[in-house]
Structure formats: C-alpha cells, structure tokens
Amino acid sequence: MRTDRTFTMLKPDSVEKGYIGAILEKITGAGFKIVAMKLTQMTQSDAETFYAVHNERPFFGELVEYMTRGPIVAAVLEKENAVQDFRTLIGATNPADAAEGTIRKMYAASMGENAVHGSDSDENAEIESQFHFAGREIF
Ligand code: IDP
Ligand code: MG
C-alpha cells in the first residue's frame, strides 16, 4: 500500500465562497503535488456511498444534503506521508478546535460545513481516489 497519496474535496461551501484558489495555494504551498483534479457535483447516491461509514449518525442527512448542494473540487495529492500531513494541514473536524493556520481554521464556518475533506488512512485514500477518478485521470 503506497503512503504518498491522499484524496481531498474542497466542499460546496468552499466553492460557493470563492475559496478554491486560496485553498489550492495552501495545499501546494505545503508541498503537495496535485496528481488528479476536477470540478464535479456528487449525486445523493454518490454522497450516501462515499459517507456510508456515517450512515447511522444523526447528522447523516444533513451531511448528504450539504455535500450534494453544489460543485466540489475533487483531487488526489502526492507527498511523502500524505494522509497524516494533509490531516495536519486541514485541522480538526470542528473549525472551532482547529489549530491556527490550518485550512479549516481559516476557511470553515462550522462542524457541518468545514470546507475540506481529507482521507483518514492510506486504504481510504485509495478507495476515495478510485471513487472519483478513473486510473487514466490520475497522473
Ligand atoms: P473528518 O472530515 O474530519 O474526517 P468525520 O468524523 O469523518 O470528520 O465526519 C465527516 C464529515 O461529516 C465532517 O467533515 C463534517 O462535514 C460532517 N460532520 C461530522 N460530525 C458532524 C456533526 O457533529 N454535525 C454535523 N456534521 C458533522
Ligand atoms: Mg473522516
């Protein structure tokens, strides 16, 4: 299992607020190389599948509605120790708890609308990348 790739989404709130450029600048400035990227919109079924691990949680309906309400930027990122370093760069799930200078601290509004996704393991990075991209779209 490779350890130098992770998967991210700039969530609908980031796109709506015009933060795509600023967030990508933070990501590349932190040493991540973009090896796949697109603007896309998740369907209800896409979001239910992508977040299936959370389907028993009370916020699941809200999460699916949020993630499908507009376009997202999906991307695969490459860097040594990618998963862990990217989670550090984005900060805690709740922006109120996120460290100063992290993407969620800078750009997220709330626990629900928290600007950006980052895979939580090498295995999920691979699964999530393949969910959004064909092999020939990852460079
Ligand atoms: P993560 O994105 O930091 O890995 P997870 O616990 O995997 O956090 O939750 C997935 C997503 O579900 C979060 O990024 C956030 O958008 C949403 N979420 C998590 N907890 C809550 C909550 O308590 N209320 C509303 N939305 C939540
Ligand atoms: Mg998670």
Quick: pLDDT tens for 118-137: 999 999 999 999 999 999 99
CA of 25 to the centre of ligand 2 (A): 23
Angle at 134 between CA 75 and CA 13, to 5 degrees: 30
pLDDT of residue 13: 98
Structure tokens at 97: 């708890």
Structure tokens at 64: 């699916």
Q: Is the CB of 63 inside a 6 Å radius of any atom of ligand 1?
A: yes
> Would you say the C-alpha torsion 52, 71, 39, 101 has a positive or negative sign?
negative
pLDDT of residue 19: 98
Give me the chain's average pLDDT, please.
98
Q: What CATH number was assigned to the domain covering residues 5-137? A: 3.30.70.141
Q: What is the pTM of this model?
A: 0.98
Distance in angstroms (rounded) separating the CA atoms of residues 6 and 57: 25
Angle formed by the axes of helices 20-29 and 82-90, to 10°? 130
Residue nearest to atom 27 of ligand 1 (CA): 112
pLDDT of residue 85: 98
Distance in angstroms (rounded) separating the CA atoms of residues 64 and 55: 10
pLDDT band at 54 (very low <50, low <70, confident <90, very high): very high
Q: Which residues of 113-133 are buried (b: 16+ CB within 10 A; e: fewer)?
A: bbbbbbbeebebbbebbeebb
